[in-house]
Amino acid sequence: MTALPFASFDLTGRVAVVTGASSGLGAGFARTLAAAGATVVAAARRADRLAALAAEVPGLVPVECDVTVPADRDRLVARANEIGGGIDVLVNNAGMPGPPDALGETPEEFDRILDLNLTAGVRLAVEAVRTLPDDRGASIVNISSVVGLVSTAPIGGAGYAASKAAVIGVTRELAGQWGRRGVRVNALVPGWFDTEMTDGLFTNEKSAGWVRRNTMLGRGGQDGEVDGALLFLASDASSYVTGHVLAVDGGWTAR
């Protein structure tokens, strides 16, 4: 009898780094990867939030870190390498939105969004792979957005769209560069989820209605609905998947 392939989702013995783990989707990713057996290194700036997560998730390693600061990134990679001799899973999730109107977005704001949403994740991926033993593969999951695939004006933003579209481009490029050394790189595209970042979107009837009307499933994403896809991409369940862009958006981008 063919065995069900649940074992390929098991992350026992793996080290997983999740950035932006102090709230929202990232906290869910950290819980999910830990539940699948990984030692999770959870990074963000708010140490109190990380400490609360560590109290809830056995074995979770909190690392206070601003991913836009090179020395913090080096410290994060070094801490994760100390635990398992290499990073098996890197989830580049830390991110922020910007002003929705390009006419009101300063060049400095635009650069700050790209620095966090794009550059920090690329630098972390490069450091993780640079320090990975040659005989060891890894899975990198970059969190993009529907805003990186289609216009969502009047909600979205030029800097945010540029950063999230670029995340998809660099995902494919790095997948091409690193495939033969066993490093897979994929992008996850969440639709609309109720988090600190989307504060007000679901409580305001006008914007909540806009989400419902434009989503094939007629609603925003609920807690946990993106975690299965994250686990799939992080684990051996997706061992033949790389350079892929997986939308978990209730059909938003399929319209």
**Where in the sequence numbering do the catalytic residues fall?**
160
* 214 in contact with ligand NAP (CB under 6 A): no
**Sign of the alpha-carbon torsion through 201, 204, 207, 210:** positive
* 140 in contact with ligand NAP (CB under 6 A): no
Minimum distance from residue 216 beta carbon to ligand NAP (Å)? 16
* 3-state SS assignment for residue 246: strand
Minimum distance from residue 177 beta carbon to ligand NAP (Å)? 23
* 94 in contact with ligand NAP (CB under 6 A): yes
Can you tell me the distance from the alpha carbon of 43 to that of 61, in angstroms, rounded to the nearest whole number? 9
In angstroms, how far is the first alpha carbon of the chain from the final one?
40
Can you tell me the distance from the alpha carbon of 215 to that of 210, in angstroms, rounded to the nearest whole number? 9
Site string for ligand NAP, 105-124 (x = CB under 6 A): -----------x--------
Can you tell me the distance from the alpha carbon of 59 to that of 56, in angstroms, rounded to the nearest whole number? 9
Burial class of 74 by CB neighbour count within 10 A (0 to 12, 13 to 18, 19+): middle
Residue from the set 83, 150, 165, 197 that interacts with ligand NAP by CB under 6 A:
197
Site for ligand NAP in 22-81 (CB under 6 A): 22-26, 44-46, 49, 65-68
* 253 in contact with ligand NAP (CB under 6 A): no
DSSP letter assigned to residue 204: S
Minimum distance from residue 24 beta carbon to ligand NAP (Å)? 2
Alpha-carbon torsion, ordered 45, 24, 123, 136, to 10 deg: 110
Residue from the set 143, 161, 174, 211 that interacts with ligand NAP by CB under 6 A:
143
Positions touching ligand NAP (CB under 6 A) are 19-20, 22-26, 44-46, 49, 65-68, 93-96, 116, 143, 145, 190, 192-193, 195-198
